[in-house]
Structure 1
C-alpha cells in the first residue's frame, strides 16, 4: 500500500472562537502535515448563523464554510509564516448554551470517506462521543486516539449538586472513551484517568511567543531592562478560571504585597462580577477586556500570576514562559510540565504564593536556552504526539494488526463481546430523541436539520429521524 497514512483530526471548536480546542488542534494539523509524509484532515464544527452570533467574538460570522476556512487558514499562516497544506472539512454542530460548548450533530465520522479512514484523533473524545450515533469509531478507523483536553469533573464539581454530577460524569466519560478509543493521551495528570491512557503534553505554543522571547533575551544580553511592568493575569473571565482564588490571595495579603499593581485581562460571562470583586480588593487591581496574549501591551510584564487549577495544561502559562517571563502557579498536576523551566515558580499555600511573587518581582528571569525553547515549540509537541500515539512506527505495523478471529483466547473474546454489547447499548440509547434529551443532548441533534444540511452540502434529511444506524 503506497498511499500516504491519513490522519483525521476531529475537534470541538473553531476560530474565531479563541479557545484551546480551536487553536491547538489547528496547530497540530499544520505541524503534522509540514513534512508531507502524511495526509492530514482537520474536522471542525460548522454552526448556523444564530449560533455563530452566540459563540464568535466581535460580531464575526460566516455565510459559507469556505469563508470560515479562509479565515482559519489566514490566521494560521500569519502565525506560522507558511501556507497550510492539510485539508479542512466541516461537520454539523450546535451550540449548547447551558454547557457553553459546541456539540456534534449526527454521525460526524461521515466527513471522512471509508477508503480514507486510517487514523482518527478525537480532541476531547468524551465530548465528541457522549451523544454519538452512527458507525462505530473503532470499526470505521483502524486506530482511534483520544486527546483529553478538559478537566470536566473539576468544572462540574463547582456546580449545584456537583459531587453527584461529577460521580455520574466520571462513569459516562469512561464508558464512551473506552468503547470508542484504542489509545488515550492525557495532557496532564489533572485529567480523569482512563484505561490504555498515557500522560503526555502534546501541545506547543504559537511560534509568535517564542519570537517575542528571543527579542527579550536580546534586550537582556544588550544590557537593557527587558521587563518594565509588574504582574498580570490573562484568561477567560469566568470564576472557574482562577479569578476567585487570585482575588482572595491578593485581598488576604495586601500588606505583604503592598506596592504591587496587578492587571487582569479577560472577557467572559463573569466579567461584571469579577470587575466588582476586584474593586473591593483595592485600587491596585486593574481589570481590562480580553486581548490577544501576543499583543505588545503584554511584552513588558515580568510576572504572570496563574492560580487556576481547572486547566489541564494552561496555554497562557506556556506562552508566558515562551516570552521569557516568570510564571507563578499552583503546585498542581496541571502544571507538572512547566516545572522543568527555571522561570516557573510553584506554591502550595498562600505564604508560598506571596514569597514566590515577591522574589520574582526583585529578580530577572533566567535565559531560556535552546533546549527549553524547543520543549515549548510545536515541533517538539508533534514529536511527543507521534511517540505517545505510537505513530512513529511504520504504517505496516498498524495495517497488520490481527483480527479478532485470530485470537482464540476466551478472555479476549469475552472482553470483545462485552465491548460490542456496550457499544450497541450506547448506540441504541443515543438513537432516540427522548433518551438523548434525558442525558443532556441538544434537541434535534440526532441528525442535521435542513438548514445545516444545505449549508454543508449534505443530503436533506427526511421528516422522521431514524434510529438504526450501523455500529
Structure 2
C-alpha cells in the first residue's frame, strides 16, 4: 500500500510540478527508486502518462532510454540468496529439453548455438537425458530455408543429418550418441524471414506418440523434463497454438530458462513497413511504435513462460524482473575454430593496436601474407551492411581513393542480398560477394580481419569464431561487443576516421596469438559452465502476480477462433495465425485414417498470406 501511494504521489508530482531540468525516464527511475516505487521504471505506459516522446536516432532505432537496462532497481534484487539445488543443471540426473526456432542445415545462430549447447549438456550425463526440440518444415517449404544444401522427406532423415553434422563438423561423436532429437511442426514466414511453431509444442510432450530420435533408434512415449531451455522464448510463443493452461511451458516443469538471442526491438524499429519513398516517409513515424509493441510482446512472452531469463549482452532492454534476468554470454565456438587459430598463430613481433596511426598503417605489410578483410552473416540491412558500405567509402577517401589491401569479401546470403550488392556497386566499393558457407570453410580461413559494424546484434557469434580462428576483428564500440574488448585481436571504432585507421592497420599486420586462458573463454566448455551458473535461481524467488497474469492472458486469449483472429492481425498473417484451424485439420485427417501430409493440410486450411 505504501508503494502504491508513493507511486501516485510521484506521478502527480512529475506531471504537475514545474521543473528546471528536463524530466527523462532515467531521471524518473532514480527518483522512483528513492521514493520506494521502482516498479514504475519498468512500465512502458509511463511514456504516455508523461507525454515523453520517443527520440529517434539518426540510423533509425529508438533511443534505448525507455527504462534502465542494468543494475538492481528493487531492494529484493539486492538480496543475495543461496541458489535452489533443484535448478543446478550440472546434476547429471536431470533431464533437459532444449527448444529452438531453427535447425541445421540453416547456418544461423539460433540453429547452431542451441544444438551445441544441447550437445555439451548431453556429454556430461547418461544417454537420453537431453532432448533437442527442432522445427520440422514440410519438404515443399524446405528449399526456401535450406537452399540446395539438403532436402528431407522424413523427420528421421533430418535427425540423421543433424547427427552427422555433430559428428563430422562439430567433432562431437560422444554427444551425438547421447543426445535425443524431437520435432515440432513449423512454418517459414516469408515476410519476416523466420520459422514459427505450428500446432502443439509443449502439449506434445505429454502425448503417448511423442517421438525422440537417437543416432540409430527412436523412443516413443510421454516425456517430462526436469528443466526446459527456451532459445528465443519470445519468438517461440508470439504466435504459438494454445489450448489452456497446459500450453504454458511452466506447466511442464518448475525450471524454465529463456535465452534471448535477438534484439527484436531494434529489428522492429529499423525494418520499413513498405519499400520505396513511402517507406522512408512512414518509417520515422511508425518505427518507434513498432519497437514499443515488440518490446511489450517480448516482456509478455518471457514473463509468461520463463522462470529465469538469460540475456547475452547488455544491449537488450529489460524484459523481466531484476531477480529473474541475468546478463551472461552463454555461447561458445566449436573446437575446429580453435584448432584453425592454433595452426595459423603468428609468433613474430607485431605492433600494438594502440600504435595504429596512419603512418604505421601505410607501412610495409608483415609476412606471411594472408587475404584481406571480409564480412560473414545474413545479408540483411539490419546486420549493418549499409553502415559497412559508408565506412568503406570513407576509408577510400582517407587513403586516396583505394581500399587498403583491395576488395572486401562479403560471405552469406539473405533476402536483401541483391539490394546490398546494388548499394556497394553504386558507391563504387570494391567488393566480392560469395554465397552461404560455413565460417570454418576453406574460403574463410585465410582472411586476416573480420569487419562487423552491426549495432543490432545481441552477441555476434561470427566475431567469437573469428577471434578463435586467430583473426583481427573490427567491431563497433557498442554494449553488444563488450565481451570481446579484452581480447588482444579485437579492434573497436567509434568514428569513420577511427575505422579507417584500424582497418588499414589490421589488413597490413598479422594478429597476435591468443593465450590458453583466452582460448578457453571462447570454448563451449566455458560457455556451458557460464550457462549452468546463469540458470541457477535464488531460493527466495517466487513467481509474481504479473508473471502469472501474463501466462493466464496468453493461454486464454490465444484459444480457438479468437486466438486465430488475434494472431493473424498481430502480424502472423493467415499462414501462421490460424493455429487452431491447423490443429483441427490435422485431427480430422488423423480421425479419418487418411495419410494426409501436413503440407496438404496447411494448403487446404491455412492458405499462404498474399
Q: Fold-level match, TM-score > 0.5?
A: yes
Name the CA distance, whole Å, in 1 between partners of 2:301 and 2:558.
11
* Counterpart for residue 165 of structure 2: 75
Residue 130 in 1 paired to residue 130 in 2? no
* Counterpart for residue 303 of structure 2: 178
* Counterpart for residue 93 of structure 1: 186
* Counterpart for residue 125 of structure 2: 36
1:315 to 446, 458, 461: 461
Q: How does 1:104-119 map to 2 (within 5 A)?
A: 104-113=197-206, 116-119=224-227
State whether residues 278 and 286 of structure 1, in contact with CA within 8 Å, keep that contact through their aligned partners in structure 2.
no
Residues 435 and 343 from structure 1, CA distance in 2 versus in 1: closer, same or farther, beyond 3 angstroms?
same
Name the CA distance, whole Å, in 2 between partners of 1:301 and 1:464.
49
State whether residues 123 and 147 of structure 1, in contact with CA within 8 Å, keep that contact through their aligned partners in structure 2.
yes
* Counterpart for residue 49 of structure 1: 139
Q: Is the partner of 2:421 in helix, strand or coil?
A: helix
1:234 to 367, 370, 376: 376
Name the CA distance, whole Å, in 1 between partners of 2:491 and 2:377.
19
Shift of 1:44: 0.4
Please list the CA deviations of residues 391-419 of structure 1 after superposition, one character each: whole Å capped at 9, or x if unmatched: 8xxxxx9xxx7998xxxxxxx8xx43x54
Please list the CA deviations of residues 338-382 of structure 1 after superposition, one character each: whole Å capped at 9, or x if unmatched: 111110011111112112112223332121111111111111110
State whether residues 303 and 328 of structure 1, in contact with CA within 8 Å, keep that contact through their aligned partners in structure 2.
yes
Name the CA distance, whole Å, in 2 between partners of 1:386 and 1:3.
12
Residues 283 and 335 from structure 1, CA distance in 2 versus in 1: closer, same or farther, beyond 3 angstroms?
closer
Name the CA distance, whole Å, in 2 between partners of 1:381 and 1:41.
19
Name the CA distance, whole Å, in 2 between partners of 1:90 and 1:355.
49
Shift of 1:206: 1.8
Moved more, 329-338 or 360-369: 360-369
Residue 139 in 1 paired to residue 251 in 2? yes
State whether residues 65 and 456 of structure 1, in contact with CA within 8 Å, keep that contact through their aligned partners in structure 2.
no
Moved more, 353-362 or 60-69: 353-362
Moved more, 363-372 or 65-74: 363-372
Name the CA distance, whole Å, in 2 between partners of 1:178 and 1:311.
22
Q: Is the partner of 1:254 in helix, strand or coil?
A: helix
Moved more, 64-73 or 131-140: 131-140
Residue 428 in 1 paired to residue 559 in 2? no
Name the CA distance, whole Å, in 2 between partners of 1:351 and 1:204.
32
Q: Is the partner of 1:112 in helix, strand or coil?
A: helix
Name the CA distance, whole Å, in 2 between partners of 1:204 and 1:379.
8
Shift of 1:221: 6.6
Residues 226 and 370 from structure 1, CA distance in 2 versus in 1: closer, same or farther, beyond 3 angstroms?
farther
1:450 to 562, 578, 586: 586
Name the CA distance, whole Å, in 1 between partners of 2:251 and 2:238.
17
How many correspondences in the alignment?
Answer: 443
Shift of 1:290: 2.7
Name the CA distance, whole Å, in 2 between partners of 1:450 and 1:24.
32
Shift of 1:54: 1.7
Please list the CA deviations of residues 321-348 of structure 1 after superposition, one character each: whole Å capped at 9, or x if unmatched: 1110110000011111111111001111
Q: How does 1:375-394 map to 2 (within 5 A)?
A: 375-390=521-536
Please list the CA deviations of residues 181-206 of structure 1 after superposition, one character each: whole Å capped at 9, or x if unmatched: 00000011122322221111101112
Residue 155 in 1 paired to residue 267 in 2? yes
Residues 364 and 112 from structure 1, CA distance in 2 versus in 1: closer, same or farther, beyond 3 angstroms?
same
Q: Is the partner of 1:108 in helix, strand or coil?
A: coil
TM-score (ref. length: structure 1): 0.87
State whether residues 264 and 288 of structure 1, in contact with CA within 8 Å, keep that contact through their aligned partners in structure 2.
yes
Residues 238 and 286 from structure 1, CA distance in 2 versus in 1: closer, same or farther, beyond 3 angstroms?
same
Name the CA distance, whole Å, in 1 between partners of 2:394 and 2:367.
31
Q: How does 1:51-450 map to 2 (within 5 A)?
A: 51-58=141-148, 60-83=150-173, 84=176, 85-113=178-206, 116-132=224-240, 133-134=242-243, 135=246, 136-159=248-271, 160=273, 161-195=286-320, 196-217=324-345, 220=347, 225=367, 227-257=369-399, 258-260=402-404, 261=406, 262-282=408-428, 284-390=430-536, 415-416=544-545, 418-431=546-559, 432-441=563-572, 442-446=576-580, 447-448=582-583, 449-450=585-586
Question: Root-mean-square deviation (CA), in Å?
Answer: 3.0
State whether residues 137 and 188 of structure 2, in contact with CA within 8 Å, keep that contact through their aligned partners in structure 1.
yes
Please list the CA deviations of residues 17-76 of structure 1 after superposition, one character each: whole Å capped at 9, or x if unmatched: 111111100000111111226811100011112221221121632110000000011011
Name the CA distance, whole Å, in 2 between partners of 1:3 and 1:28.
15
Please list the CA deviations of residues 272-297 of structure 1 after superposition, one character each: whole Å capped at 9, or x if unmatched: 22222222333632222232211122
Unaligned runs of 5+ in 2: 1-85, 207-221, 274-285, 351-365
Residues 328 and 177 from structure 1, CA distance in 2 versus in 1: closer, same or farther, beyond 3 angstroms?
same
* Counterpart for residue 95 of structure 2: 6
